[in-house]
Structure 1
Amino acid sequence: MIVTTAGRPDAQSVALVEEAAERLQVPVVERKKRSIPKLQDIYQSDVLVAGKDRYSFYKRGSEEPFFFHPNSATYRLKRIVKGEVDPLVAAAGLVPGDSFLDCTLGLGSDAIIAASCVGADGRVEGIEADAVVAFLTETGLRRFPIEFPLLQEAMERIEVIHSEAVEFLKSCPSDSRDVVFLDPMFTTPIEESSNFETLREIGASYRLTDEWVAEALRVCRRRVVLKDHYESPMFERFGFVQQIRPYTKVHYGVLEK
């Protein structure tokens, strides 16, 4: 991977380039008015672009850039404010002060909802195995421009951890997190946005395993929650009690301690 500026770089985008190059240990390439496909062809590489207010990642062979956006967390949080019950919050049984470990952070939409519910006295950690996704999500959570204070506060409270999920779980003491959350994205796609599809292309791909579920159950104090397509065989295979939600593709399963 290489990192470069947008077409018309300014001081801020240059600073963002330097930050990404240092954090990800990748070379900086001058843009010189060259297109992204041209840079991909010349350097035979993925390209990370530092714009004025965000990073955009262009994977070779992908037509769409990947960038951080809170996505569904925005309207989900607005529904919570109106008094509606979020299905993740209900499945996890989250209350203020809880600790929530998201083993498959991605863009962090679920972690944002959890962070808002557990509040300032709670703790939300998000594990992301892919270095680029972890970097984009971490910087996006801190810097995404949004005029929704409740959402912004929740985003800033999330701790991003670049690690492979099972290995991180093995390092955790038993009964150390109230809820452990799994959304491995290996079955039928749930989200339909182009940005989510790009995430599926560039992010780490996993299959849920006996070891993963066992470690998650060991680490949690109350329950493990699985998010997946409603037709996923993983609910039954690993003993999750599937919570049926009519008229939606997204279902949650609960495995009690």
Structure 2
Amino acid sequence: MKPRVPLAVTLSNGKPEDSQVARAREAARQWGLPFLPRRKKEPMGPLLKSAADALLVFEREGVTLWDPEGSFSFNPGMAHLRRLRILSGQQDDALLRVAELRAGDHVLDCTLGLGQDALVAALAVGPSGRVVALEKSLALFAVVSEGLNAYDYGPQSCRVEAIHADAHAHLRSLPSGSFDVVFFDPMFEKPKKSQPGFEMLRRFAEHAPLTPETLEEARRVARRWVVVKGAKHSEDLKKLGLESEPGSRYTSVIWGRVPGST
């Protein structure tokens, strides 16, 4: 019997199209993951028990991440509503306000996660702008990047360029002043209630805290602002020497920012 692997690629149940099989095999090759053929009508449970701790399942509609506790597939969720509000002329989105995003900006999102803030930033900077989003967790990157590739951005938005990378290492590779805004949404110390998918995010996301060293690299890369999201009743921002920006007293999220150093 082959040993279990942490993560593998497989196909949805039923008879997949040849193009679907080819896409799954090529993705497994690119991500350096084993591809597990799946027999017709074979349940997911036995594969998770015998072959892999988690599975990236290629379906006609996209990619779903499965583990023994549940599943997660890409959904724009609140980002869709936030984008609709921006398109209607409302300018009360906290990310846009704190980061002072404007048309043509280049934004580096160092914590892609579910892709929500990256989608909002993509609309804010428009088709002349650029949004690059980093995700260290291969499982989350696989699901969200595939979802972003298929997302209908519309003519008023640029596309999100997702990269599987460690934020600190990627920042060190960038020239000084190469982005207008650098953004972080690190995993909160204390879990908070959120939309479906957040518990899956918590299980697979990178849990290392944002360090002062990474923040300084971000300042070197940022021309204007480094923006950090934190939890209201935590020391997330204070540990980095950041003061929270004024905002609604009803929200559980706070924001801090520091000027870029270039």
TM-score, length of structure 2 as denominator length: 0.88
Residue 7 of structure 1 pairs with residue 13 of structure 2: yes
Name the residue aligned to 2:248. 245
Equivalences for 1:1-257 in 2 at 5 Å?
Answer: 1-11=7-17, 12-32=19-39, 33-59=41-67, 61=68, 63-84=69-90, 85-144=92-151, 149=154, 154=157, 157-190=159-192, 192-243=194-245, 244-257=247-260
**In percent, how many aligned pairs have the same letter?**
36
Task: Count matched residues.
Answer: 250
Shift, 1:203, TM fit:
1.9
Q: What letter is aligned with 1:221?
A: R
List alignment gaps of at least 5 residues for structure 2: 1-6
Name the residue aligned to 2:3. none
Q: CA RMSD in A?
A: 1.9
1:181–1:191 Cα change, 3 Å: farther
Q: What letter is aligned with 1:90?
A: R
Between the aligned partners of 1:196 and 1:214, the Cα distance in structure 2 is 28
1:123–1:13 Cα change, 3 Å: same
1:179–1:190 Cα change, 3 Å: farther
Between the aligned partners of 1:191 and 1:96, the Cα distance in structure 2 is 32
1:39–1:105 Cα change, 3 Å: same
Shift, 1:37, TM fit:
1.3
Is 211-220 or 15-24 further displaced after alignment?
A: 15-24
Name the residue aligned to 2:4. none
Shift, 1:190, TM fit:
4.3
Q: What letter is aligned with 1:218?
A: R
Is 102-111 or 4-13 further displaced after alignment?
A: 4-13
Between the aligned partners of 1:139 and 1:44, the Cα distance in structure 2 is 21
1:217–1:128 Cα change, 3 Å: same
Between the aligned partners of 2:136 and 2:215, the Cα distance in structure 1 is 17
Between the aligned partners of 2:140 and 2:107, the Cα distance in structure 1 is 20
Q: Judge conservation of contact 1:24–1:132 (CA < 8 Å) in 2.
A: no
List alignment gaps of at least 5 residues for structure 1: none
1:159–1:236 Cα change, 3 Å: same
Moved over 3 A (4+): none
Between the aligned partners of 1:157 and 1:194, the Cα distance in structure 2 is 24
Q: Judge conservation of contact 1:186–1:206 (CA < 8 Å) in 2.
A: no
For residues 151-204 of structure 1, give each alpha carbon's deviation from its aligned partner in whole angstroms, at most 9, with x where no partner exists.
xx64x6111111110111111122221111011113223451231210110122
Q: Judge conservation of contact 1:189–1:229 (CA < 8 Å) in 2.
A: no
TM-score, length of structure 1 as denominator length: 0.90
Instruction: Give the secondary structure class of the aligned counterpart of 2:237.
Output: helix
Shift, 1:248, TM fit:
1.0
Shift, 1:26, TM fit:
2.2
Shift, 1:44, TM fit:
4.1
Q: What letter is aligned with 1:67?
A: S
Between the aligned partners of 1:44 and 1:158, the Cα distance in structure 2 is 30
Shift, 1:15, TM fit:
3.2
Q: What letter is aligned with 1:94?
A: L
Shift, 1:38, TM fit:
0.9
Instruction: Give the secondary structure class of the aligned counterpart of 1:66.
Output: strand
Between the aligned partners of 2:88 and 2:129, the Cα distance in structure 1 is 22
Shift, 1:10, TM fit:
2.3
Between the aligned partners of 1:26 and 1:95, the Cα distance in structure 2 is 39
Shift, 1:97, TM fit:
0.9
